[in-house]
Amino acid sequence: MADTTAPMEGERRVTFKEKLAEIFIYGKSMVPALLVLLFILVVLFGAVTPYFFTYTNFKAIISNIPIIAIMAVGMTFVILVGGLDISVGSVLGFTAVNVALFHHMGFPAWSIILVCLGIGALFGSFNGVIITKVGVNPVITTLGTMALARGMASWFALDIESLKLGRIFDQNFLLIARRYFPKEAQLIPITFIYVIVLYVVMSLVLKYTRYGRSVYAVGSNEYAARLAGIDTSRIKFSAYVMSGIMASLAGMILVAQLSLGRDDAGLGSELEVITAVVLGGVSLAGGKGNLLGVIISVLILGVIRNGMVHLQETIGISYYWREVVKGAILILAISIDAARLMAIKKRQVVRQ
Amino acid sequence: MHMEFVMADRLLEMKNISKHFPGVLALDEVSFDLKAGEVHGLLGENGAGKSTLIKVLAGDYSKDKGQIVISDEEVEFHSPSDSQTMGISVIYQELNTLDELSVAENIFVGNLPKKKLGTVDWKTLNRNAKTVLQRMLVDINPKKIVGDLTVHEKQIIEIGKAIYKDAKILVMDEPTAALGEKDTVSLFNIIRSLKLQGVGVIYISHRLNEIFEITDRVTVLRDGKYIGTEHTKETERERLITMMVGRELKDMYPKREVPIGKSLFEVQGLTVSGIVEDITFSVHEGEIVGLFGLLGSGRQNIVRAIYGIDEKESGTIQISGKPVLVNNPARALKQRMGFMPIDRKLEGLALTLSVSNNITMANIDNLGDGYFIDKKFERKNAQKWVKDVNIKTSSLDAEVNSLSGGNQQKIVLAKLLETGSRIFIMNEPTRGIDVGAKVDIYQMMESLCEKGAGIIMISSELPEMLAMADRIIVICQGRITGEFNRNEATQEKLLHAATI
Amino acid sequence: MGKASEVLSRQKGEKRFLLSSNTILFIFLIVMVAAFAVLSRDFYSIYNITSMLTNIAFSGIVAGTLTLVMIMGGLDISIGGNIALTSCLVAYLYNLEKGPHIGLIILIALALGATIGSFNGFVITRLDLNPIITTLGTMAITRGMGYVLTKSRSILILENVVGFIGRGTIAKMPFPLILFIVVYAALTIVMTKAKFGRKIYCIGANQEAAKLSGINIRKVKFITYLISGIAASISGLILTGQSAVGMPQHATGSELDVITAVLLGGTSLAGGKGNILGTLAGVLILGVLYNGFTMIGFRYVHIRVFQGVILILVVSLYEVREKRSY
């Protein structure tokens, strides 16, 4: 008797491994894979504790992600042009300290915002100049800037500590991060809106402006882009400036959220930002990826962070595993990126 | 009548162009001119100076002496964009496409049409792209991602870029290298339609068939010198070959009578799925077997699979009758096989290391007992090869970077000799080197054969192939399509087998 | 181009000398030492020299092995995390009731370094990943495990053997310094005379050519990262002994120091160029510089700023010099 459950000749049962590879590696966009991942995580954490699904928890998740989300936008531009910026966390910290400093000196909120954006632009420009004009490797450059900014943050913070001036009291300033919509029900934090608007605007820029298309062109094939008349140095430079400004923006929002400006703000955040961007499908090789994948993976990382807190409360897994998980996800993300690149290379193997 | 008038316009004149690089004079007072609506072929062997001349025209290199005149105006180029502004577009063999972007974006890169608000007008972009493509009588979806296209389609995109930029002078460098017959016909049709529009085309190739099919005139370069210009309809093959090679074939190629011994190397059923299929051939002691084919035929894939650099689905290798496993270069070297890569700078040499370090690179484990290198022994060996292979260098410690192309190639050869190789895979052994060094390499190849070595030689130079190989195997679209003995092989037979 | 390089000598005006990079560095070192001796009374004290040399030994050992990694064309940012985790593990194990013998603990520490190095090596060679980001991830993982192990607290370890590694002396020389000298002697021999060292240079200079020449790229890279991992745990033992504490915050920012020292010593990021002597000079210069600055009165935060500036300055200068020589 024929075995009706066996695959017929010419068919093959698709194995789980192959299905996985199909979604994560061979798909054109990472978005479906990320959505699957997000879904799985939500289900997993929900199984650990029903508290996961409450609205309060949801608010907790989304109020923690703006910082990473904002920096991820800048990092996306940088990685799209084929570079890297590991100084973002330190620029954030330096900005935070300056907010406190200027606040103490009595500057009004709007001027603090302007000055801090200027700081971000300054660091970004510095990175940009060293990388594009002098030609130093981006990682080493931003490694140096990272130390520079963090050192300056600690240095400036010395004054603050001695005068105990970390706290911010200016309501106008605090409100940039503390408003909720609608006012009474306190449903959606304003930072959520910032992130949505930023991502929508930047996505439009990347897709619909010449500048955005040039960013992709430079990342895809810098030589060809230059031949076509695109000022590749300028494009790369602008990406680093963007990254710097996003970092300082994130710094301001962080201070407003905590009402505290400390020199260790953003310590280690560059790791999360890079993870979010690479996991989101922006290839380290440059020229590929978009912000949709990035925002989803920022959400994934936020869910994981939140979930681990719950894990500690219920199962007792130490919260300190968070750093380990962060590093592991980064390596996982770049492995997926490498596998995707390899799959494309294999497809393009030509007879020579 | 209209044709005559259009062709009379002189688009370009390059007068007495000279260009030198450390150690070599690449161009020696070369002249070249191009008329509107003309297809002007540029012929010459590897190292003749064709690429250099084009790079000077494209603004990639600066000339040392001479003038460039465009439409009766003398110009100076300081960068590729200068040359582009003057209406010159170059399509290189290695296409410069932006693979992650769409067809339309590639054609208009840097010049995307804007809407009133300043955002990219995708509708107009795609529409304009379709128009450009139609001008070339092609139908490709402008929204397709370029990475997914075939080589010929990518080529069309590059031509489209040039058309959009209103190029008056289009340079095509070996455009049919990777094309099959159908695509070549399509390309020639595009070129003919460009001619009618008054565009001047500089067509670089060493496929004589094509020169005779598509060009109006042809200029020959040799060793960086201008040899002559002929009207295609009034000249013939022999004349062009003589101009290209310059000397009696027998002087140029020191072929000796070497007794062919027993089978040294055999490969059977080599298959890399989708690329090459069922490759079977053998090499005997003292024999030079040539692998001929157009670019894109799969010869590279074959030798790389043989040497264990790339993976293969099936195929066995026997050395002196014994089956061996060669799945990586280290194993191949152990079997005394040596590989001379097609690009010595990329794969053959460590440019920042010294001459002696490079020569011994493949034999480090044998430079001394135990964990350490016997420096004296190393230098002795290196010195021996420098002498034997006639490498001109100021010292054993000189950086390989500072040597000429010919000497660099000799170092690669010395590296293989140091490992005691008996079976050599030489991939375009005389590419980009001067005639003197070429002859040296040919001499060495013959000496090796006299000592019983076997050589697999890949060459796109028909004269070289016909002169040096004892047997020629022709590859076309990944399969062996012909095998010819030395005395029965002719250019026509080879080209015919290579283009089935 | 060739062996020697032309360099503008800073102290002697605008004249050009045909001096090797290393000579310039050592001259600069001597000048600096002299300057600091003049500027600060305490600089020349036995206590300061000893502590300075111990610090130099601590970061110098990993700098030496990092030189191998960088000449090969890679990078290892995880050394800081490795050092921290080593110190945490050692302190943790020591404080366990019925914990293992101290000798065993030291062996476990070295094994830990080897494991981390192997992980780096495996992931980078097998999965063909970018070394920079991979070791960034490993850094997070190792330091994170340090936090998990110690629950973010410092663990005291008052012990003889480990203490000796960090603070002991043999014939008046600090033990770390002796380790340092031994390691550098070994590394110099490896890089100048050993087959393994030559292979590292070849891979760094042109990986494809090295592959075609039959060099086992995977094996060499793996071993190099392994060595780097072990060196980091040795440094971790030194630091634990010195500070008598195991804590996950140890060696934060040390990767910057070490990379700067290696780059200062003339090793090129692109690979294929560099030598141990240069790194020695770099390590000494930075060590003296930071110590001297501290003696003059700069605080830790200022020095952190200098670290960043010096790194960028050093690479920029080398980059400009490369461009000029073409």
Q: What is the pLDDT of residues A32-46, one digit of tens each?
A: 889 989 999 988 888
pTM above 0.90, yes or no: no
Identify from C5, C213, C268 which residue to disrupt to test chain B contact, counting B C-beta atoms within 10 A and taking the largest count: C213
Last residue of a domain, one of B220, B247, B274: B247
Provide the residue type at B353 as one letter: L
For chain C, the domains span 5-324
CATH of the domain at B64: 3.40.50.300
Is residue B107 domain-shared with residue B196, that is, in the same domain? yes
Q: Could you tell me where the beta strands, DSSP code E, fall in B392-499?
A: 423-427, 454-458, 471-476, 479-485
Is residue B312 domain-shared with residue B241, that is, in the same domain? no
With a cut of 80, say whether residue B445 has pLDDT above it: yes
Last residue of a domain, one of B247, B277, B306: B247
With a cut of 70, say whether residue A185 has pLDDT above it: no
Is residue B63 domain-shared with residue B208, that is, in the same domain? yes
**pLDDT tens, residue by residue, A249-268:** 999 999 888 888 888 888 88
Q: How many alpha carbons fall within 13 Å on the CB side of residue B203?
A: 32
Is residue B70 domain-shared with residue B15, that is, in the same domain? yes
Concatenating the DSSP letter of every residue in A137-183 gives: -HHHHHHHHHHHHHHHHHHHHHHHHHHT--B---HHHHHHHH-EEST
Last residue of a domain, one of B247, B265, B290: B247
How many helices (DSSP H) and strands (DSSP E) are in chain C?
13, 6
- Check residue A164 and give its pLDDT: 55
Chain C residues with CB-CB distance to B350 below 8 A? 201-202, 205-206, 209-210, 272
Band (pLDDT 50/70/90 cuts) for residue B365 is very high
Measured CA to CA, the distance from residue B125 to residue B155 in angstroms comes to 19
- Check residue B6 and give its pLDDT: 47
**pLDDT tens, residue by residue, A148-183:** 999 999 888 887 665 555 666 777 677 777 766 666
**pLDDT tens, residue by residue, A75-112:** 999 999 999 999 999 999 999 999 888 888 888 888 88
Provide the residue type at A326 as one letter: K
Interchain pair C193, B372: CB under 8 A: yes
With a cut of 50, say whether residue A147 has pLDDT above it: yes
- CATH annotation of A52-329: 1.10.3470
Residues 6+ apart with CB under 8 A from C101: none
Provide the residue type at B44 as one letter: G
Helices A190-208 and A55-64, axial angle in degrees (round to 10): 50
Provide the residue type at A63 as one letter: S
Identify from B326, B361, B373 which residue to disrupt to test chain C contact, counting C C-beta atoms within 10 A and taking the largest count: B361
Neighbours of A64 (CB within 10 A): 16
> What's chain B's length in residues?
500
Chain B residues with CB-CB distance to A208 below 8 A? 119-120, 122
Chain A residues with CB-CB distance to B100 below 8 A? 216, 219-220, 287-288
Do C273 and C204 touch, CB atoms closer than 8 A? yes
Chain A residues with CB-CB distance to C317 below 8 A? none
Q: State how beta strands B479-485 and B471-476 pair.
A: antiparallel
With a cut of 80, say whether residue B251 has pLDDT above it: no
- Check residue B366 and give its pLDDT: 92
For chain A, the domains span 52-329
- Check residue B178 and give its pLDDT: 67
Handedness of CA B259, B261, B265, B269 (dihedral sign): positive
Among residues of chain B, what percentage have pLDDT more than 70? Answer: 95
Band (pLDDT 50/70/90 cuts) for residue A186 is low
Low-confidence ranges of chain C (pLDDT < 50): 1-17, 326
Q: State how beta strands B314-319 and B322-324 pair.
A: antiparallel
- Check residue C227 and give its pLDDT: 97
How many domains would you assign to chain B? 2
Measured CA to CA, the distance from residue B271 to residue B276 in angstroms comes to 5
Structure tokens at A347: 């497809």
3-state secondary structure C107-165: HHHHHHHHHHHHHHHHHHHHCCCCHHHHHHHHHHHHHHHHHHHHCCCCEECCCHHHHHH
Chain A residues with CB-CB distance to B101 below 8 A? 213, 216-217, 220, 287
Interface of C with B (CB under 8 A): 1-3, 193-196, 198-199, 201-202, 205-206, 208-216, 272-273
Do C244 and C156 touch, CB atoms closer than 8 A? yes
* Chains touching chain A, criterion 3+ CB pairs below 8 Å: B, C
Chain B residues with CB-CB distance to A220 below 8 A? 98-101
Identify from A25, A94, A133, A136 which residue to disrupt to test chain C contact, counting C C-beta atoms within 10 A and taking the largest count: A136
Q: Hey, what CATH topology would domain C5-324 get?
A: ABC transporter involved in vitamin B12 uptake, BtuC (1.10.3470)
- Tell me which DSSP letter residue C43 carries: G
pLDDT, mean over chain B: 87
Q: Which residue in C has a C-alpha nearest to residue A337's C-alpha?
A: C129
Q: State how beta strands B24-35 and B39-43 pair.
A: unpaired
Band (pLDDT 50/70/90 cuts) for residue B18 is very high
Rounded to a whole number of angstroms, the distance from the CA of B355 to the nearest CA of chain A is 29
- Check residue B406 and give its pLDDT: 86
Window 158-177 of B: residues touching A by CB (8 A cutoff) are 161
| A319 close contact with C: CB closer than 8 A | no
Residues 6+ apart with CB under 8 A from C294: C300, C303
Provide the residue type at A119 as one letter: I
Alpha carbon B39 to chain centroid distance?
21
Q: Is A234 helix (H, G, I), strand (E, B) or coil?
A: helix
* Size of the A and B interface in Cβ pairs below 8 Å: 84
Q: Looking at B174-178, B296-300, C248-252, which range is the least confident one?
A: B174-178
What is the average pLDDT across B306-316?
93
Interchain pair C213, B415: CB under 8 A: yes
Do A268 and A324 touch, CB atoms closer than 8 A? no
Q: What would you measure as the largest C-alpha separation in chain C, in angstroms?
A: 68
Burial of B446 (C-beta count, 10 Å sphere; 0-12/13-18/19+): buried
Do B296 and A351 touch, CB atoms closer than 8 A? yes
DSSP-H helix ranges across B28-169: 50-58, 80-85, 103-107, 122-135, 151-164
Chain B residues with CB-CB distance to A229 below 8 A? 81, 84, 110-111
- Check residue A105 and give its pLDDT: 82
CA-closest candidate to residue A259, choices A116, A60, A71, A103: A103
Do C221 and C69 touch, CB atoms closer than 8 A? no
Handedness of CA B412, B413, B418, B421 (dihedral sign): positive
CA-closest candidate to residue B281, choices B450, B419, B457: B457
- Check residue A8 and give its pLDDT: 46
Measured CA to CA, the distance from residue C222 to residue C230 in angstroms comes to 12
- Check residue C2 and give its pLDDT: 33
Interchain pair B397, C3: CB under 8 A: yes
Interchain pair A352, B105: CB under 8 A: no
Phi, psi dihedral angles at B232 (to 5 degrees): -55, -40
With a cut of 50, say whether residue B303 has pLDDT above it: yes
- Check residue B1 and give its pLDDT: 38
pLDDT, mean over chain A: 86
- Check residue C9 and give its pLDDT: 28
Is residue B335 domain-shared with residue B454, that is, in the same domain? yes
* Domain span at B301: 251-498
- Check residue C271 and give its pLDDT: 86
Angle CA A24–A27–A32, to nearest 5: 70
- Check residue C80 and give its pLDDT: 95
